[in-house]
C-alpha cells in the first residue's frame, strides 16, 4: 500500500518536511495538554467531575418543591 502512495510523491520537491511538521505539531499539542492537566487544581477536577450530576440534582430539587 505504501509503495502506491510513495510513487505519487516521488516527483514532488520538499515533500519530506511534512512528516516532520506533523510530528512536531503532535508533540507540541501533547506536551501542552500534559502541562495543562498537571497544573489543574484538585478543586477544579472535583467541579468538572460533578458536572454530569448537577442536572439530576437540580431536576430533583424542582420536582420536590
- The torsion angle over the Cα atoms of residues 25, 27, 28 and 30, rounded to 10 degrees, is 120
Q: What is the mean pLDDT of each run of 10 residues along the chain (65 residues)?
A: 72 83 97 96 91 72 59
If you write DSSP's letter for every residue of 54-65 in order, what string do you get?
HHHHHHHHHHH-
Tell me if 11 is assigned to some domain. Answer: no
pLDDT attached to residue 60:
62
Tell me if 9 is assigned to some domain. Answer: no
pLDDT attached to residue 43:
94
Structural domain including 54 reads: 16-64
pLDDT attached to residue 14:
79
> Looking at the whole model, is its pTM more than 0.85?
no
Q: Among the residues of 1-65, which ranges form H helices? A: 2-9, 17-39, 42-49, 51-64
pLDDT attached to residue 13:
80
Tell me if 5 is assigned to some domain. Answer: no
Tell me if 3 is assigned to some domain. Answer: no
Domain tally, the chain: 1
pLDDT attached to residue 52:
83
Q: Are 9 and 15 in contact (CB under 8 A)?
A: yes
Amino acid at each position: 500500500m505504501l509503495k502506491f502512495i510513495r510513487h505519487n510523491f516521488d516527483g514532488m520537491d520538499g515533500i519530506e518536511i511534512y512528516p516532520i511538521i506533523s510530528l512536531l505539531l503532535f508533540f507540541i499539542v501533547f506536551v501542552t495538554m500534559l502541562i495543562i492537566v498537571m497544573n489543574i487544581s484538585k478543586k477544579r477536577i472535583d467541579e468538572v467531575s460533578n458536572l454530569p450530576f448537577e442536572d439530576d440534582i437540580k431536576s430533583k430539587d424542582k420536582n420536590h418543591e
